[in-house]
Structure 1
Amino acid sequence: MPNGQTHALINLSVLTVVASSYLSTPTIQGTLGLNALWACGGFLCGTLLVTPDLDLNSPTLARKAWGPLGFIWIPYARLSRHRGMSHSYILGPLIRAAYITPLLYGALMLSNLSFTTLNVAYALAGYYLSQWLHSAADRIPLHHDLACLTAQHK
């Protein structure tokens, strides 16, 4: 299973390839380009700030990224079992999104950033994709994990 840094590297690598390919297409402009940026923003938030590993009681990469606000995830970590529902493909991201919505909504209102329901839908799509990539990566055994398993059977 990847650690937090490896998860971030995997997600950011995928985002770089997909976003650069999409945004470099000459026909992508105006609203489509703006929606892609909202999706990228959601993906980045899901990769760096609101990850499935916030259910750990230890200081994770994501919790550290919250700085002094990292304490808001302590109740979430205490109520969640690591790799339990928090790592499910539908409920995990939905629970974290609902948990953080009041703070996120307040930040958006204070920022005077204009957004539409469609922008939010694209941001949620990017967020969900980042969560799914994280959970999928957790299901791939890493080489060093296999080496440890092999050494135990000798």
Structure 2
Amino acid sequence: MPSGNVHNLINTAAYAALFAATALAQHAGYVHVTPVQGLAFTAGYAAGTFLLSPDLDLAEGRVNSKRYWGILGFLWVPYGMLFSHRGLSHTWLIGPLTRLAYLGVIVALVVGLVAFLVPDLRLPGLPSSLDWKGLLPLLAGYYLSQWMHLIADGVRPDHDLRHARKTARRTFKRLR
């Protein structure tokens, strides 16, 4: 299993190769990527590589992703306590969702606290409709960065199913 620095290097090299391939494909007229789509993909990929790594399930220790959060890194310690390393947090579909959901809970708590402490403050609201042209590349970048990490760790795409089956077997045995 690679170190955090090696994971970051692998993800950065993969991004550079993908960027070059996309630029060549766009120049040849095979694809069309708008600047907003490119920026959204890059932001999602960078966030998934540096801030929301699957290794946040080790957040009780010294993890690169936790350190990149600076003084807010302590917010990820409960996440590390909730998820065992290479367990549910290292699955292909659910794992990345766990980090997004955890981040959403943190944001909701902060917004709720600010609204409670400063009731007259007008906080920006969510947009009335989602712009899928920007949201899909953001999610694609995020998920691809997560998958690059899992590939480097040797986690197979069917890990989600195998993990679910193993958990179901354990639960069934306890119920008997």
User: Paired residue for 2:17?
Assistant: 17
> How many matched pairs?
132
Match of 2:44 among 38, 42, 47: 42
Deviation for aligned residue 1:118 = 2.5
The 5 Å alignment of 1:5-154 reads: 5-24=5-24, 25-26=26-27, 27=29, 32-56=34-58, 57-101=60-104, 103=107, 116-139=131-154
Which runs of 5 or more structure 1 residues have no equivalent in the other structure? 141-154
Residue type matched to 1:123 in 2?
L
Distance 1:118 1:53, change over 3 A: same
| RMSD across aligned positions (CA) | 2.3
**Distance in 1, Cα, partners of 2:131 & 2:23:** 21
Please give the TM-score of this superposition, normalised by the length of structure 1. Answer: 0.77
Deviation for aligned residue 1:20 = 2.7
Deviation for aligned residue 1:92 = 0.4
**Distance in 2, Cα, partners of 1:79 & 1:6:** 25
Between structure 1 and structure 2, the one with the greater Rg is 2
Which runs of 5 or more structure 2 residues have no equivalent in the other structure? 112-123, 156-176
Deviation for aligned residue 1:131 = 0.5
**Distance in 1, Cα, partners of 2:61 & 2:42:** 28
Residue type matched to 1:78 in 2?
M
SS of 2:2 mapped into structure 1 = coil
- Runs of 4+ in structure 1 deviating by more than 2 angstroms, as ranges, are 23-29, 31-34, 101-104, 115-118
Residue type matched to 2:141 in 1?
G
Deviation for aligned residue 1:58 = 0.5
SS of 2:18 mapped into structure 1 = helix
Deviation for aligned residue 1:68 = 0.6
